Homo-oligomer: A and B are copies of this chain.
Amino acid sequence: MSTSNSGWLVVVGLGPGAEDLVTPQVAAALAQATDVVGYIPYVARVAPREGLTLHPSDNRVEIDRAQHALQLAAQGRRVVVVSSGDPGVFAMASAIFEALEARPEYLNLDIRILPGITAMLAAAASAGAPLGHDFCAINLSDNLKPFATVEKRVALAAQGDFAMAFYNPRSASRPHQFARVLEVLREHCEPSRMIIFARAVSTPDEALNTVTLAEATPEMADMRTVVLVGNSQTRRIGPHIYTPRSAL
């Protein structure tokens, strides 16, 4: 394998789905790429063209995908790794650095991360401004951490009266955990606390469902949903849900 200095690896965020939420910076990187690497539905968002090789791969193979991208860049290819949302928020950027840590021979590669519109910000904008005050972003999946850590963090966030955004709230393989997260919220928050289930934001399938904590059920979330939890001041004004800038 020959190593050329002309190769690079850029990890980009395609945003939550709408094409007009892809930044020009990301579009320019894609226009220069020779190879696009990523999870099947994200690679499918990139238009095929002459000179561009698409490398779609399945979910849950993030480290294999990251190693493949590093190899291609080391061969002199111009590689774009695509994530949805922002690549640094529960997406491929950290996986690339984990793979790099295991393969120090790639340390001199030109690696850059380009930000994107992450799901919670698009969901918040669709709802109004529920994240308008201090907030936490928590990945509810326990694929890579104990579920006890998730419960502890949700409880601390509630004690601090943070608004919250939950990524990956629920999957077929762990249907009971989001129910437990709702229980933790109920131990710390009033029943009228506002919760927004935002599904497939910015796509034709977009659906927002705003309920109180008392009304919330686990079935309201799936893996295409980001869940926003207001703080104690979050309220409705007309069709908008917002959190004031001030706090007690």
Contacts and interface: CB of A to CB of B under 8 A. Distances in A.
B111 A240 contact: yes
Nearest to A119: B115
A134 interface: yes
Interface of A: 15, 18-25, 28, 62, 86-90, 93-98, 100-101, 107-108, 111-118, 121-122, 124-126, 128-139, 144-146, 149, 152-153, 156-157, 159-162, 237-238, 240, 242-248
Contact of A23 (B22, B87, B95, B101): B22
A107 to B, nearest CB: 4
Main SS of chain A's interface residues? mixed
B133 A135 contact: no
B160 A242 contact: no
Given A93-B242, A134-B136, A159-B156, A121 B88 contact: yes
A65 to B, nearest CB: 13
B107 A115 contact: no
